[in-house]
Structure 1
């Protein structure tokens, strides 16, 4: 009987990420893939594919969390349920039910990755505290593997009464505490000076009397010359993609609002950036010479070691993190971690993830035989 891989993904994950085309990749192994129907779960981001196909001897099914029961058995389950997990943690009844069904389904099945490990990344403060602990644990002779920017989690009233003083300096970025579950989680603002904070909050959350998030995540902005390194991890495989980021921020800039899901993914060809606005811009027109100079500042050995350490300490197999190199100092900062990211731009991703799946199934099979 063929081993079975079960995926618990949303339609968005299948169509707008490196996972897209996974079914086509499956055809290379065995012919005659089987297709079922497309069902809608009633959730805004949970179009779940109810279909199956073959991958080089593996049966692959995609789980519909709204089904009352799941008949398919699985040798391994891979999921991207951060939105649902976050809503469940906040008490959403539908999400709680979906998570309970999923936990029941995977109770005796290997999972990539374990839900407790993924839950630790749902809130930004929780993630940063984890990173602080990892920094301390990996420090050797006062040498730090990586840094994180100072941050604070405060209510709107605390922010307006300047409770951030001695915690966070400006320029700073302000965003919602949650890192998933809603479109609002991806809305954020660069605030060049403390005098602009009230305006930025009003633009993000509405006037003080309007309903809004009780807590906000405020973090110092680290200038990094408009270049960000997206590091993708698939088991032991590490791949870095260079992408444009925001230009260096000064106190003379205006407040800049942006959606973190709509940041440009590529640079224009050899054209310097010119803007008459006082708003910062994404460095999409950074010259190739400037890009190459910044790329040389990245310590690739350090980036790979960070990936190894994070995988071990966070107990994750499929994840990505954003790495920047500070202007002037060359210090490496981890500014975000994402579970099971898009993997856009990762070469041979399908083959790499299938290799990880095979290793996991074989490892758990050997463990089961020893019991």
Structure 2
């Protein structure tokens, strides 16, 4: 089993051992070993499973007593487990009803995350309204209104004048294009932890270009770009991360308003300024596999959920 040519034979054996340990049968209920600390039931798309449940995460999780168990979508969720945590990222009204019913029947289980909060992020208008309501900055490129994980929902276009807007297909959300030095800050939130990664983004648009060009320019999908700018030789004014107090307040308020613990915020700094930032997108359960040290951050977060649950139990 060669994984992107990155590991040798000895590591392959360790990975296989981890995966075999993780492969529990959940038919007829889940038998929990005495040494097991935490059982995470997961319902993820095949794409999310591949990007998130990487061998390094599974091995580290097993060493910490965390075991990932696939949820069988063909069977009632309440008949499976028992789970300490349910991790999910599936779309559709039926699944939302299933997970919400499960949350009501099993308040002792940490469900990541509530479907109402997730649905809130599926509409860019309501999503960005939460940021505007914080009154942290003026939040003002055209994007599809609905965020459903499809390729179309990530299309991005730049309209050079108001007449070009007729070329775009609604529903969509309009945002003012802000020159930002071609750098995007991806702010990953995992519970209380905040991790910032720089990514290359769209280039600046000069006034000369605006005067000469009309119509609509359709950008390639920016959010899935894997080119990290963390090691790039950038000007200090472009490379400097957003202030930590701003990120902490933004993350704290969005956690409170949305009830989510797993999300990321896409931010840009207006080119030529030091303290003018714009939030351009919020995503539920983003591509954590691209976040440095995500294995340690995520497993520590899962363990903290169990610790907080035990603290809430009344003394006997």
TM-score in terms of structure 1 length: 0.65
The alpha-carbon deviation at position 114 of structure 1 amounts to 1.9
Change (3 A) 1:262 1:181: closer
Q: Structure 1 stretch 321-330 or stretch 60-69: which is displaced more?
A: 60-69
Work out the CA distance in 2 between the residues paired with 1:366 and 1:299. Answer: 33
More helix per residue: 2
8 Å Cα contact 2:142-2:173 kept in structure 1? yes
**CA distances 1:301-344 after superposition (whole Å, capped 9, x unpaired):** 43344333333333322111011111234411111111111024
Alignment partner of 1:367 is 2:312: yes
Contact 2:185 2:241 in 1 (8 A): no
**1:1-371 mapped onto 2 (5 Å cutoff):** 1=34, 2=36, 3-16=38-51, 19-21=52-54, 23-28=55-60, 54=62, 56-68=64-76, 70-81=79-90, 84=91, 95-107=92-104, 108=106, 109-135=109-135, 145-149=136-140, 173-199=141-167, 201=168, 205=169, 213=170, 215-249=171-205, 250=207, 251=210, 252-253=212-213, 255-260=216-221, 263-266=224-227, 288-290=233-235, 292-296=236-240, 298-330=242-274, 331-369=276-314
In structure 2, C-alpha distance between the alignment counterparts of 1:77 and 1:304, rounded to whole Å: 26
- 8 A Cα contact 1:123 1:177, kept in partner: yes
In the TM superposition, residue 113 of structure 1 has moved relative to its aligned partner by: 1.9
TM-score (norm 2): 0.75
Contact 2:56 2:295 in 1 (8 A): no
Quick one: distance in 1 between partners of 2:257 and 2:94? Answer: 30
Structure 1: any 5+ residue segments left out of the alignment? 30-53, 85-94, 136-144, 150-172, 206-212, 271-286
Q: Tell me, what secondary structure is at the counterpart of 1:323? A: strand
C-alpha distance in 1 between matches for 2:241 and 2:307:
39
Aligned-pair distance for 1:228? 0.9
* 1:353 positional shift: 1.3
Change (3 A) 1:216 1:370: farther
Aligned-residue RMSD, C-alpha: 2.8
How far did 1:225 drift?
Answer: 1.6
SS of the counterpart of 1:74? Answer: coil
Distance change (3 Å), C-alpha of 1:314 and 1:216: same
Q: How far apart, in 1, do the equivalents of 2:68 and 2:183 lie?
A: 38
Greater relative contact order (CA < 8 Å, ≥ 6 in sequence) = 2
Cα distance between partner residues in 2 of 1:356 and 1:247: 36
The unaligned stretches of length 5 or more in structure 2 are: 1-33
Contact 1:223 1:326 in 2 (8 A): yes
CA 234–260 in structure 1, closer or farther in 2 if over 3 Å, else same: same
Q: Alpha-carbon deviation of 1:68? A: 5.0
Give the 3-state SS of the residue equivalent to 2:139 in structure 1.
coil
Partner secondary structure for residue 360 of structure 1: helix
Please state whether the residue corresponding to 1:238 is helix, strand or coil.
strand
Q: Are the equivalent residues in 1 in contact too, given 2:39–2:84 (CA < 8 A)?
A: yes
Identify if the C-alpha distance between structure 1 residues 63 and 261 changes in structure 2 by more than 3 Å, giving closer, same or farther. farther
Distance 1:259 1:68 in 2: 40
